[in-house]
Structure 1
Amino acid sequence: MAPKLEDVEEEQRHFANVVNTFRNYAQYTLSANNRRRKDIYRLPQADQELLGQLGYKQKLDAADKAILANADFLAKIVEDTQMFGDEPNREDAENTFGEINPYNSLSHDDDLGQPHNHSHSDSHSHAGARHGHGPSQPARKFRPAEFDMDKLRSTLKQFVRDWSEEGEAEREACYKPMKDALLQHFANATHEERRKLRVLVPGAGLGRLAYDVAKLGFVCQGNEFSHYMLLSSFFILNKTDGVKCHTFYPYVHSFSNAPNKVSILQAVSIPDVSPSDLPAGSNFSLVAGDFEEIYGTESDPDEPQHGQWDAILTCFFIDTAKNIVNYLRIIHRILAPGGVWINLGPLLWHWENNTSNDPSVELDLEELKSLARRIGFEFSVRGSR
């Protein structure tokens, strides 16, 4: 079923607003840092002098430089958004968004050159986004809010986890057990057989787990909904060639609970591996859109889903469900006979106590396991039934 025009326009506006959040990072964040300067001058002169002796003002100056370095990095990510549709006019980007289509498949493989257009109408609530009021009404000028900037700051921190040496320990704790379970399940598969096994990674984020799975020789497709993640993963996977060629400062945004200046001003260089360093003939792609709408229906006859995936890896994903029953039902339905679902992550239900009138079903762990068994899953822990 074709998406409604108003839903497409809403997503176009939201995508343009995300791009503008990237481009407004410097102004917004420098202003926040300048607020700290103003607060100093509200103190008694003697207190100002004491803080000066501590080097507090110099720390603020260093933070400004780090923020500008971050802005340069973020500007590179949204320098070319043609992959996602027409480029918004930079001079009037807040008001005129053009025909932006952020639903193309992001392919990192010569064998996967066909883009797949997926659009969805079940949009999350986005601060600053406005529904259209018809062609006669001009779009309201968009100004990024704290909600938008918080998502951007979180994206910078996720770069640390997924693509830096500093994030290796966290990746090892999360991704390695999942990859080990995948290899164990298909331990008898030859190298050639592995190249035909299809692995899906919903909620792929910045794409590192999906990349690692592809590097193991599996056919791998990631799926992601967030435009912040999609823009950033496309940049790191398709526009970055080399190791440690981008440097940024992910911890400069808050001075709270910091042991020293070094921790606030820590520089991180990414990526720790070359994203183009995949085995010849690797089959690796990232599809943009809503998991339930893409994989839960058979709306695209050229891309069937039922029983097509040999493995599904969900990492910090299933608690994004509004209806966990449907999530599990879809996962079970699209798994091939003998396939495996590998899951890791908490049950921090994203929609619990939401203010947007979205449904939310919050199961505890025992209820979740019981539901999975009722849907048809069999549990295996470290190879034992």
Structure 2
Amino acid sequence: MKSHDSHLGSRKTPDCGGPEKKTSPLKQAEMDHDGGATLAVAEESAWASVDGGMDDPEEIRVIFCALDSFAQYAKVAHFNVTHLRRRSFYALPQAHWKLLAAPPFNFLDTLDKVDEAIDTNAVLARAILKSGLTSFNALPPSASESDPPAMPHEWAGVAKHADIDKARSTLRQFYRDWTAAGAEERAASYGPVMKALEKETKASEGRRLKVLVPGAGLGRLVFELCQDGYEAEGNEISYHQLLASSYILNECAKAGEHTIYPWIHTFSNHQTRENHLRSYAVPDIHPGTVLLNAPKLGSMSMCAADFLCLYGDEDHEASYDAVASVFFLDTAPNLIRYLEVIYHCLRPGGVLINVGPLLWHFENNAPGNHGHDDDGDGEHDFNNSSGIADPGSFELSNDEVMALVEKLGFVVESMEMGLRAPYIQDADSMLQTVYNVTTWVARKPLEKETSEVKKTDET
């Protein structure tokens, strides 16, 4: 089975005691005193300039590897997707390649069209790059608006294959979150969240709920929650995702500004060449315009940090009415830590709404020994934790996950299994990968209920 793209970056995860919460430059959508919608960019950006505050050399390196991966996307894609195929094509017997070069196959023409599609994808990649370089004050002082963005000399070429793969994956993910054709996927994955939150809103007599979205990716769910009146906060660890979401939410000028060709990187399982070369407009809506006209506008922000490090601290204790976990829990090497932090940051009576499969991302690649076990007793100091990079991992079946949720203090209120949820899936492909996901709602008990449960256990 093809994996759904991971929200996890390759960045070094800082100790939990170190980083402050960082709010991204996503436009904060809020209601003014007259009830009208206003959009304002957060004054203090997570994208503080490298010269002006980021003092972790490793963090800076990871940021510029992500930026450089978007700069290198076109060159690497041209080499891997078309150049190598042309070389293999001309290695065929002459009679064979001449047959394939003529109608109805026109294979060389197909490669030319794929090259054009790569160049079109690269327009979006360069827009993300320019947005990021501008945010980090890393554009050359002499650069004009019309100049194509260029990496600073000392950072040019630093991206590795894994970084460039993430850039390609991020461009493909725009299909899921920011095209009209991706609406079916969004409905399958985000619909259960919206439905559960609507029920919570009615139960709270219309009070605006504060919702945390870990693994927020390209930010569409955070945006939809804001549009529906929630106080939405996204969290993401991958700089590829953060750079892309910041661009599409803040700087993209209009709906349909870009065109993407998400299926061109592989030549397998296409019914027709037309489907292989199908394009989609991005974004399907202009976020700023939609929010300005939203009748019950909420607010939105994005935090760039390790989920465990940021939300496990005292400042975030009992801070959220709901946590919306979509294709997120299976990114945990240690699910207990994820659930403990979610329980910690939920208010008493708050809910965890989960939608997703169990494609354990660390099944064959457990994190190394980066925890702080100074005395060798197997116990680790989570106040000085490395977050997701802490040692150890395990994988559970779905029934075991549900048992663990209850063991950690949640009350499971509803569960539905077998919901079909595609993930960046070409509906016309000869290979269909569709997850049968589980969706469930688990509540953190009110303090009174918790104490009563403890008394019952003691007796």
- Which bin holds the TM-score, normalised by the shorter protein? 0.7 to 0.9
State which of 373, 378, 382 in structure 1 corresponds to 2:406: 373
Q: Deviations over 1:178-214 (max 9, x none)?
A: 11011112214455x22xx211000000011111111
Q: Deviations over 1:45-82 (max 9, x none)?
A: 10011101211010001111111111111101111325
Is residue 2:87 matched to residue 1:72? no
- Alpha-carbon RMSD across the aligned residues, in angstroms, is 2.4
Aligned to 1:344: 355
Is residue 2:215 matched to residue 1:203? yes
State which of 172, 182, 192 in structure 2 corresponds to 1:157: 172
5+ long unaligned stretches in structure 1 = 98-140, 299-303
- Contact persistence 1:318–1:327 (CA under 8 A): yes
Is residue 2:284 matched to residue 1:269? no
Q: Distance in 1 between matches of 2:334 and 2:308?
A: 10
Aligned to 1:315: 326
Moved more, 241-250 or 54-63: 241-250
Q: Deviations over 1:87-132 (max 9, x none)?
A: 16676646348xxxxxxxxxxxxxxxxxxxxxxxxxxxxxxxxxxx
State which of 51, 54, 58 in structure 1 corresponds to 2:100: 51
Change (3 A) 1:52 1:221: same
Is residue 2:278 matched to residue 1:245? no
Identity %: 37
State which of 181, 192, 208 in structure 2 corresponds to 1:166: 181
Q: Distance in 2 between matches of 1:366 and 1:281?
A: 38
Q: Distance in 2 between matches of 1:55 and 1:373?
A: 59
Following TM superposition, by how much is the alpha carbon of 1:26 offset from its aligned partner in structure 2, in angstroms?
1.2
Following TM superposition, by how much is the alpha carbon of 1:166 offset from its aligned partner in structure 2, in angstroms?
0.8
Alignment length (residue pairs) = 332
* Helix, strand or coil at the partner of 2:269: coil
Q: Deviations over 1:120-166 (max 9, x none)?
A: xxxxxxxxxxxxxxxxxxxxx62532x22321221122111111111
User: TM-score when scaled to structure 2?
Assistant: 0.68
Following TM superposition, by how much is the alpha carbon of 1:13 offset from its aligned partner in structure 2, in angstroms?
0.5
Aligned to 1:329: 340
Q: Distance in 2 between matches of 1:352 and 1:188?
A: 39
Is residue 2:61 matched to residue 1:10? no
The letter of the residue matching 1:369 is: M
The letter of the residue matching 2:413 is: S
User: TM-score when scaled to structure 1?
Assistant: 0.80
Following TM superposition, by how much is the alpha carbon of 1:2 offset from its aligned partner in structure 2, in angstroms?
3.6
Superposed, 1:1-385 pairs within 5 Å as 1-2=17-18, 8-32=56-80, 33-53=82-102, 54-81=105-132, 84-87=135-138, 93=152, 95-96=154-155, 142-145=158-161, 147-191=162-206, 193-194=207-208, 197-276=209-288, 277-278=290-291, 279=294, 282-298=298-314, 304-354=315-365, 357=368, 359-381=392-414
* Helix, strand or coil at the partner of 2:130: coil
- Contact persistence 2:263–2:277 (CA under 8 A): yes
Following TM superposition, by how much is the alpha carbon of 1:384 offset from its aligned partner in structure 2, in angstroms?
9.9
| Higher RCO (C-alpha 8 Å, min separation 6) | 2
The letter of the residue matching 2:193 is: M
Q: Distance in 2 between matches of 1:380 and 1:83?
A: 46
Following TM superposition, by how much is the alpha carbon of 1:355 offset from its aligned partner in structure 2, in angstroms?
6.6
5+ long unaligned stretches in structure 2 = 1-16, 20-52, 141-148, 369-390, 416-439, 443-459
